[in-house]
Amino acid sequence: MANLLKIDQAIDNLFRYREIGVDPAFSRFIPMVYDPIHYAWRENFEPAFNQLFNGLMIKGDEEVGRVFLAVFPTDDVLTRFISEGKSGDLLFMHHPLVMECGDPKGEWGRGFVPISEHFIKQMKEKKLSVFTLHVPLDYSRTISTSDAVAEAIGAKVISEFFIEEKGACGVLCEISPISTEALIEKSKEIFSIPYADVEGPRHSDITKIAIAAGCGDKVYAMKEAEELGAQAYLTGEVHCHIDNDYGRKKYNEMKAYTKQTSMSLIGVSHAASEYLVHATQLKKWFTEQFEIPVTLIPQEKWWV
């Protein structure tokens, strides 16, 4: 068993989430999805979480017997956690909301989606805990979403890009020569996806690659990576497939950029690109730090 507050402190010591402060994304998106449906999220989530939008979101028993690792709170993930978890067990995720970015070969997504009230009620009744860590897990260079991708493909991080106020979301890497096609196939294997979202020219000899896990579909970030000499750009999303005006605008902007870029652009799905750090670096860290069982909960479908 491990003490919940000690786990929280260890996470903060590594990722400095309290020092980083308010999450710039979910401080907007949580009210955006819960307020219109009149859900009392401020009463149901922990007070400190309601200030930072990172950290302990739902607090169960103080003794943790098992840590579950997932990326988004999809219905299948929460169903399994509630079914298998025992009082005090902890679900650690990157997102406190599902993000439906859409399927490049299927349906477009709804964007951010709230956790259903009945799941929150069940977790509370069973005294389970939920902890989420968003931008601090992107910014860290010890354990991070993008660094885990670099590690998996055998690339060496040489610098950062896609820099925000409190940290960088992307890493520029050197890699042994590889073709675009080989990088696509390698990515499909690493991320367990049936296909990648690919744009831009193909190259036979890529030696410098930019990596931005998650929502890397930012034209300004791609242009920065290109200026830094990247020949390929590996990310969660190349195209935004969110079915609203924002998503269609982003899609059109990216379509225009793909006609002029010199980089191979490879998207592996937002969820899969950010799950990798859970399956590799975080699983190892939780196991070594707390000597309790760690269970991975991959999503049933990555392109959502």
Q: Which two tokens stand for residue 92?
A: 């650690």
Distances (CA, A) of 223 to 100, 204, 216, 234, 303: 25, 21, 12, 13, 25
Q: Mean pLDDT throughout 194-200?
A: 97
Task: State the chain's mean pLDDT as an integer.
Answer: 97
Return the percentage of the chain with pLDDT > 70, whole number.
Answer: 100
The predicted-structure confidence for 55-89, as pLDDT tens digits, reads as follows: 999 999 999 999 999 999 999 999 999 999 999 99
Task: Sketch out the chain's domains with CATH numbers.
Answer: 2-134+273-296 (3.40.1390.30), 138-270 (3.40.1390.30)
pLDDT the model gives residue 96: 98
Q: Mean pLDDT throughout 105-128?
A: 97
- Nearest residue to 304 via CA among 113, 139, 54: 113
The answer to whether 32 touches 118, Cβ cutoff 8 Å, is no
Residues in the chain: 304
DSSP-derived secondary structure letter, 5:
H
The predicted-structure confidence for 28-65, as pLDDT tens digits, reads as follows: 999 999 999 999 999 999 999 999 999 999 999 999 99
pLDDT the model gives residue 271: 98
Which residues on adjacent β-strands are paired with residue 242?
Answer: 109
Confidence of residue 173 (pLDDT cuts 50, 70, 90): very high
pTM: 0.97
